Amino acid sequence: MTNPTQAALAEAADARSALDRVRDRILADVRAGVLKPGRVIAPAALAADLGLAEDTVRALLGRLVDEGFLHGAAAEGAPEGGLAIRELGETEVLDLYNARAGIEGFSARLLAERNDPALNRRLLDVIGGAARMDARSEQAYFDANHMIHRSIVSATDNAFLLGFFDNLWRRGACFGLFASIDKVDVGASLAEHTALVEAIATGDGAMAAERMIAHVRDGYFLFLDARQDSPF
């Protein structure tokens, strides 16, 4: 006999998996340039591509509206009769980067205070792996940059910090943040990440946090420059 609690947990996991598939597909289309703010998302086509029922996809898209990724026809500026990527205002972008700075800065502090040489070497190995990736496209640079930053937060072994991090980066990816490749010197960017780990390796938590916060805020100004030059 199936345990009701186990059945409920399995059902919740299936729903989360389906939501992740829908979200991941939207993020992939955003990074590929297929979807831009204001472009209508067609639930029927998305359902067919993912092999899900259209009613299921519509329900999942509704959850993404609740999470702030999308907005509906009733929202100001949304296209008639559909859902679309919601464009963030300047204040929301700043809030998102400040949240990132808080989470990632605190993660750097925790790692510096732990100051585990073996862990620091593993972080440097992650950066080395990113350096070997072909990061000449926006999506490839996003993936390399995300891998490095997520490894730092993941190394804290704090599931809550990692959950907050993942949520913010999903939102950032959906809104076209964190990947302004045209303005990035990839070699210099990877060197900056190495410097972050070197700051962690000093054991000075305050300095490591300060370096990480400055790094994230530099990314914010890089994004503002990219948005100003964008035709969209």
Q: What is the CATH number of the domain that holds 221?
A: 1.20.120.530
Q: Is the same domain home to 53 and 113?
A: no
What pLDDT, on a 0 to 100 scale, did the predictor assign at position 213? 97
pLDDT digits (tens, 9 = 90+) for 2-48: 554 444 334 444 555 788 888 778 777 776 777 776 777 888 888 88
Mean pLDDT value of segment 50-61: 86
User: How many secondary structure helices (H) and strands (E) does the chain include?
Assistant: 9, 3
From 85, 105, 134, give the residue that closes a domain: 85
Question: 40 in helix, strand or coil?
Answer: strand
For residues 65 and 112, the answer to whether their CB atoms sit within 8 Å is no
Alpha carbons 54 and 27: distance in angstroms, whole number: 19
Domain count, the chain: 2
Q: Is the same domain home to 78 and 185?
A: no
Q: Is the same domain home to 79 and 112?
A: no
Q: Is the same domain home to 124 and 198?
A: yes
Question: 84 in helix, strand or coil?
Answer: strand
What pLDDT, on a 0 to 100 scale, did the predictor assign at position 163? 93
Task: Name 160's Cβ contacts closer than 8 Å, sequence gap at least 6.
Answer: none
**Which residue from 45, 79, 76, 41 is spatially nearest to 62, judged by alpha carbons?**
41
pLDDT digits (tens, 9 = 90+) for 183-232: 556 567 778 999 999 999 999 999 999 999 999 998 888 777 766 654 33
Task: Name 48's Cβ contacts closer than 8 Å, sequence gap at least 6.
Answer: none
Q: Is the same domain home to 113 and 207?
A: yes
What pLDDT, on a 0 to 100 scale, did the predictor assign at position 10? 43
What pLDDT, on a 0 to 100 scale, did the predictor assign at position 75? 46
Q: Which domain holds residue 221?
A: 90-229
pTM over 0.85: no
Any idea what the CATH number is for the domain that residue 77 is in?
Answer: 1.10.10.10
Token code pair at residue 185: 């010197």
Q: Is the same domain home to 81 and 179?
A: no
